Copies of this chain bind each other. A is one copy, B any other.
Amino acid sequence: MLDLPENVTIKEVGPRDGLQNEPVEVPTEDKIAWIDRLSEAGYSYIEFSSFVHPKWIPQLKDAREVAASIKRKPSTTYAALVPNMKGLEGALDTGVDEVSVFMSASDTHNRKNINKSIEETYPVLGEVVSEAKKAGKTVRGYVSTVFGCPYEGDIPVHQVVDVSQRLLDLGIDELSLGDTIGVADPKQVDTVLTELKQQLSFNDLAMHFHNTRGMALANVLVSLQHGITTFDSSLGGLGGCPYAKGASGNLATDDLVHMLHQMGVQTGLDLEKLEEAALFIQSKLNKTLPSHQMQVLNKERV
């Protein structure tokens, strides 16, 4: 009855989406050591930092240093988030493999996040995408608040379709649809994916779930049934969105990998090495990581 793909690609966003929402600033050398451990665990894709103004996200002010010192594996794509041309320049200077741009399907969330309307955002991202392409880089486009906005509530599917289409028109290579505040339910994922597949033509679509209300793995399951084979996640469940009350918890890579491997779906990742890497960053953050795998592991270590 369950029709599952043989392989899934997991894009690790912990060093960016995870760390940017942690109150503790992890020392640069620890970030580098952590990312090197992630590379060793077998990822084909790591979003290692964000080239944004340190006033916005002080936790990631060392993107340049991190980029310069991580050991890059040829089989891994090292990507960074960039909000604008200045960010892109920083990222290109360090020789990233791919850049990510981002915007919201909700105008209010977009304004709160980057101080621009959705319409005002396109030309900014258009220039970034165009310049990144000229530099020979691939570009990923994040759409946030796809399944709900902390300010506007429900987001009509046509808004998601519109924003996605405009990003594709700008030339992005992959869309990543974000459930920024962790409100998506499986039925909604089913509806949105059905609609998107009917209305858009895309090569690569990734889903970016948060586990705020415990539904992330159920949402992954529906996405798999829709043929989606790329998922963003954050090791140990690090991070979340700071702009919404009660909105924490990226889908944990370790929980995702555990479920996929149990079901016979391959990821290329070594779960044991992932757990070691999670224990490493947990020790640097001085907190217990929220993933289920880490909770089981922490109990077993007592």
Contacts and interface: CB of A to CB of B under 8 A. Distances in A.
Q: Work out how many copies of this chain go into the complex.
A: 2
Interface in A190-229: 190, 194, 211-218, 220-222, 225-226
B2 A262 contact: no
A193 to B, nearest CB: 8
B1 A212 contact: no
Contact of A263 (B185, B262, B295): B185
A148 to B, nearest CB: 10
Which of A186, A211, A216, A258 is packed against the most chain B CB atoms within 10 Å? Answer: A186
A120 interface: no
A190 B2 contact: yes
A190 B220 CA distance: 16
A296 B246 contact: yes
B246 A300 contact: yes
A113 interface: no
Interface residues of A, number: 40
A292 B213 contact: yes
B245 A211 contact: no
Interface of A: 1-2, 4, 185-188, 190, 194, 211-218, 220-222, 225-226, 245-246, 248, 252, 255, 258-259, 262-264, 291-293, 295-297, 299-300
25 contacts: A1-B194, A1-B226, A2-B186, A2-B190, A185-B259, A185-B263, A186-B221, A186-B259, A186-B263, A187-B264, A211-B214, A212-B292, A212-B296, A213-B255, A213-B259, A213-B293, A214-B214, A214-B252, A214-B255, A214-B293, A217-B218, A218-B218, A218-B220, A246-B295, A246-B297
